[in-house]
Amino acid sequence: MSQKISLLDCTLRDGGYVNDWKFDHDNMVSIFERVVDAGTDIIEIGFLDERRPFDFNRSIMPDTDSAGKIYGDLDRKNTKVFGMIDYGTCGLDHIKPCSESFLDGIRVIFKKHLREEALQFCEELKKLGYIVFAQLVSVTAYTDEELIDLCNIANRRKPDAVSMVDTYGLTHQNDLRHILEILDKNLNEDIAIGYHGHNNFQMGYANCQTVLAYSKETQRDLLVDGTLYGMGKSAGNAPIELIAMHMNNEYGKDYQLSQYLEAIDANIMQFYQPATWGYSLFFFIAASNDCHPDYVKQLTNKHTLSIKQMNELLGKLQGEKKLLYDKEYMEKLYVEYQDKDINDESSIRALSEKLKGKTILVTGPGMTMETESSRISDFVMERRPVIISINRAMNMFNPDYIFLTNNKRYIQVATYLSTKKIPVIATSNLTPTDKPFEYVVNISELLDRSSEYADNSLMMLLKVLIRSGVKEVNLAGFDGYSGQDANYLDEGKEYDFAKKKADYLNSYMSGFIRSHRGDIKVKFLTSTRYDIT
């Protein structure tokens, strides 16, 4: 047979993860025409998803008729036009026969546990006259045996292509070749093999070269995906302009690079600045731990872990859990990881002696540290309290102690601690950099496992003070949380979840203080949203 190597552009589909597929009609038309004029073999114009209403300005459509409404007047020239279905989101009743559709083909993306049903769906689409590609989500999650089973199913159902989808950008060339060789050996020879990569490891372009180079070892048709400027989900995709340049130079193709570059300049760059897809530390961490990026997002949003600790925690993910995100599972691992038992009786006794009979002022991160600073100053001048700062170094009111509960905050105050020599009260999950902490308290006794946020720092310090025999404490800068306004004096240190969970956080802390009023009397020097009456 005569071998073909093809280039597929999926900007309007995969790029849509960046802007919720709202490219606006003029941009969609311009991208389509530029990609077609470049001589691209296949253009994927968006998702078919019956859950989404028709929108002239979005490249996500409820049915095949919608594709014609948006793109039907455009000249496709020699380019094949495809849509994509995430299996289960668009039924056959929303798919007209190919002879009545603007689409030439449909790609069906599916997770491995759905491979039997999804490939049967592919067969039904073929009966409607479409060119059909089967897209293997998270191909790195397949064992060799599962890949062979997939090939056997595909040989019965006969999609036109089977594509490796490196959803989380995990593959390097050796891994990719191994998967490629299994597919090549076990698929019928008339089924093409494709590759769709992401750039968590900056390997998308290099892996496309690996797939294309394999054309010298097989007579099978091969195709590779790209998007304009790498626009796409998470770390982005292989840039189509680079792949096209490589295919022109090495495989005698004649793609018009200037058309891609014009589309990038006129249609794509306006979306880049708000979103900024592409290689990043965030997606590198996910890929290096072979895990779903949402695990990294969940841990990053806590602002409590160093990169080393995050990697240690992600390393505890096992089996299917790695790539099938489970928020509750990770939360359990996080609490277990933080839960480090020590004998802290000596630290508690020492704190009891230091704080006995003293007026205690605990300072927090709120805006009132500045807006009501005169009130705090008057209190400090009059009462000469022992000042304990939580997770931050205060310049206006120099603390006598700093209470630290997470490594991220520890790193942020490390320089201040080394110059000021301020004693640290640290929870047992922290690791000191040079010298031991003056006081270490057992975090397992401080965590509230019934709370959505088990390691609330104010709650934990109040527990420490109660154990140390403190009967009364004054609070400044604990303003509570607003869903709209800035909550922290230093906005860069505000937790990402604070505004979304403002009501919950306020209710939780108010309830905690009320429930412990018999153990410790809490007075607020500054305005607060906490209700302790």
Closest to 192 measured CA to CA, from 6, 416, 430: 6
Instruction: Tell me what pLDDT residue 82 has.
Output: 98
pLDDT at 319: 85
Cα–Cα distance for residue pair 122/369, rounded to 1 Å: 62
**Distance (Å, whole) CA 156 – CA 154:** 5
d(CA 509, CA 498): 13
pLDDT at residue number 496:
65
- What is the pLDDT, as a whole number, of residue 275? 72
Q: What is the pTM of this model?
A: 0.67
pLDDT at 443: 87
The pair phi, psi for residue 97, each rounded to 5°, is: -55, 150
Residues 6+ apart with CB under 8 A from 490: 365, 392
Of the candidates 188, 197, 77, 67, the residue with the CA atom closest to the CA atom of residue 130:
67
Convert the pLDDT of each residue in 257-295 to its tens digit: 999 999 999 899 999 877 778 887 888 888 888 888 889
What letter does residue 429 receive in the DSSP assignment? Answer: T
What string of pLDDT tens digits covers the 533 residues of the chain?
Answer: 468 999 999 999 999 999 999 999 999 999 999 999 999 999 999 999 999 999 999 999 999 999 999 999 999 999 999 999 999 999 999 999 999 999 999 999 999 999 999 999 999 999 999 999 999 999 999 999 999 999 999 999 999 999 999 988 889 999 999 999 999 999 999 999 999 999 989 999 999 999 999 999 999 999 999 999 999 987 899 999 999 999 999 999 999 999 999 999 989 999 987 777 888 788 888 888 888 888 998 888 776 677 777 888 899 998 888 888 999 999 888 888 766 667 899 999 999 999 999 999 999 888 999 999 999 999 999 999 999 999 887 667 889 999 998 877 787 777 777 777 889 999 988 878 768 899 999 988 888 888 888 888 999 999 999 999 999 999 999 998 887 877 777 766 666 677 788 889 989 999 999 999 999 999 999 999 999 88
> Which one-letter amino acid corresponds to residue 45?
I
Task: Please give the sequence-ordered ranges of beta strands (E in DSSP) within 55-148, or none if there are none.
Answer: 60-61, 80-86, 105-110, 131-136
Burial class for 93, CB neighbours closer than 10 Å (0-12, 13-18, 19+): exposed
pLDDT at 490: 73
| Helices 457-467/345-355 angle, 10° precision | 80
Helices (H), 276-400: 281-288, 293-300, 307-314, 327-338, 345-355, 368-371, 373-383
